[in-house]
Amino acid sequence: MSEAPAGRPSARVRAGQSLRMAAAAGLLGLLQACASPAGPAAFTVGDAHYRRAHTADLPGWSRDPVHEVLPALERSCRRLATLPANTAFGPPEFGLTTGDWRSVCAESARLARTRAGQAEVRTFLENNFTVWQIASTDGPDGLFTGYYEAVLDVSETPAPGYTVPVLGLPAGWERTGTGRPRRAEIEDGALSGTAPVLLWARDPVELFFTQIQGSGIARLPNGQQVRIGYAGDNGHPFVGIGRIMNERGLGNGNSMPAIRAWLTAHPDQARELMRENPRYIFFRRVSGEGPVGAQGVPLEPLRSLAVDRRHVPLGSLMWIETRDGNGRSLQRLALAQDTGGAIKGPVRVDVFWGSGESALFHAGGMKSGGRAWLLLPAVRS
């Protein structure tokens, strides 16, 4: 057998190396192709613009204890699992169906069972989700506010001090519609005998705020609590009375606590001012955990968001960058699990803060600019 000159491989060796290099290159190319997300890098639907991004682009990504989102994610996963696997999830450019959530939902459930820490959950998210920054056609900045679950003192029957009816959806009505009575007409009895009275509230201001929030804890005189949730509305647009207060010099209309304080202190003017919001919310009794959002799952404080479902599919993971009512940075992972009458636009987000006075304090003063990203299951080519 002849030998190649020193330092130079034989032809057979060179051929073997070439084959191995070619195989490695082919495998690398295959892996790169599999790892590359399919579909466009950016697209626009209506007034929403979506652009591919990376977790490295998410402000504060390494600091958020992302494992805390797992309970909210599990609830969304259970809801998505009830839908046919071929149900489109978001715009067709995403190339997603609800079936694409099944593998990531199974893994997130495993992570929850094993009580995985934030590092493991963060790696799971980075390896299995595609990041999309969402913006309006005017730019990426949007408006972030907060909401909470109100506590409403009620009685099962009309009694001294409990004279304000909490109405259920009128018989034969769908959840929403047009050509229906406005708030003032309903309060004057337009639906008497048509809309069932679920409970009797003590304070019309508290009922008004419960309607704005869309859900609440109804507290009976004996201390027992009944949860009530959104059943439908009268189809009229929401009108924020805070702006009206500011325009008329009626006090500070910039936060819910301040608005509530003014309404309580001025009961004669309060009734007419509240009627300038024609939208009226009907309730239903809710059993089990709550409050329940529009996705049909219980909400998680600071991990559940209300969004405009025209632009953000319910069940989407979202990264938000904004500030709370005290100006402190709020950068975290959450789930789009709810909607709201005033939540309109691609980057219009309402952060759920929880229940009661503490939640009102934080939610009521929040009105900040911010940006948002979607994290959706990766569809690989």
CB burial readout 36-45, b (16+ within 10 A) else e = ebeeeeebee
Which pLDDT does position 183 carry in this prediction?
98
Does residue 85 sit within a domain? Answer: no
Query: Please, what is the average pLDDT of the chain?
Result: 88
Which pLDDT does position 2 carry in this prediction?
31
Q: Lowest mean pLDDT: which of 121-135, 322-336, 350-364?
A: 350-364
Judged against a pLDDT cut of 70, whether residue 11 lies above it is answered with: no
Could you tell me which residue, 211 or 32, shows the higher pLDDT?
Answer: 211
Its pTM stands at 0.77
Q: Lowest mean pLDDT: which of 64-73, 89-98, 173-182, 188-197?
A: 173-182
Does residue 112 sit within a domain? Answer: no
Q: Rounded to the nearest 10 degrees, how much is the dihedral formed by the CA atoms of 44, 48, 53, 55?
A: -160
Q: Can you give the CATH number for the domain in which 266 is found? A: 2.40.240.50
Does residue 122 sit within a domain? Answer: no
Which pLDDT does position 38 carry in this prediction?
62
Residues 6+ apart with CB under 8 A from 297: 72, 75, 76, 78, 79, 337
Judged against a pLDDT cut of 90, whether residue 4 lies above it is answered with: no
Strand-pairing partners, residue 145, are 350, 367
Which pLDDT does position 15 carry in this prediction?
39
> Measured between alpha carbons, how far is 54 from 33 in angstroms, rounded to an integer?
17
25: its two tokens? 């290159």
Judged against a pLDDT cut of 90, whether residue 269 lies above it is answered with: yes
Could you tell me which residue, 364 or 209, shows the higher pLDDT?
Answer: 209
Which residue range is the domain that position 208 belongs to? 148-286
Which pLDDT does position 325 carry in this prediction?
86
Does residue 101 sit within a domain? Answer: no
Judged against a pLDDT cut of 80, whether residue 26 lies above it is answered with: no
Q: Residue range 324-328: average pLDDT?
A: 89
Residue 97 — φ and ψ, nearest 5°? -125, 170
Q: Residue range 10-25: average pLDDT?
A: 39
pLDDT band at 342 (very low <50, low <70, confident <90, very high): confident
Q: Residue range 316-328: average pLDDT?
A: 94
Does residue 291 sit within a domain? Answer: no
> Measured between alpha carbons, how far is 325 from 40 in angstroms, rounded to an integer?
37
Q: Residue range 69-91: average pLDDT?
A: 97
Does residue 250 sit within a domain? Answer: yes
Does residue 257 sit within a domain? Answer: yes
Could you tell me which residue, 342 or 305, shows the higher pLDDT?
Answer: 305
Instruction: Give the tens place of pLDDT for each residue, 40-60.
Output: 999 999 999 999 999 999 999
Which pLDDT does position 380 carry in this prediction?
65
Q: Lowest mean pLDDT: which of 4-18, 88-102, 127-141, 352-366?
A: 4-18
Sign of CA pseudo-dihedral 310, 315, 319, 324? positive
Among residues of the chain, what percentage have pLDDT more than 70?
90
Q: Residue range 260-265: average pLDDT?
A: 95
Overall domain count for the chain: 1
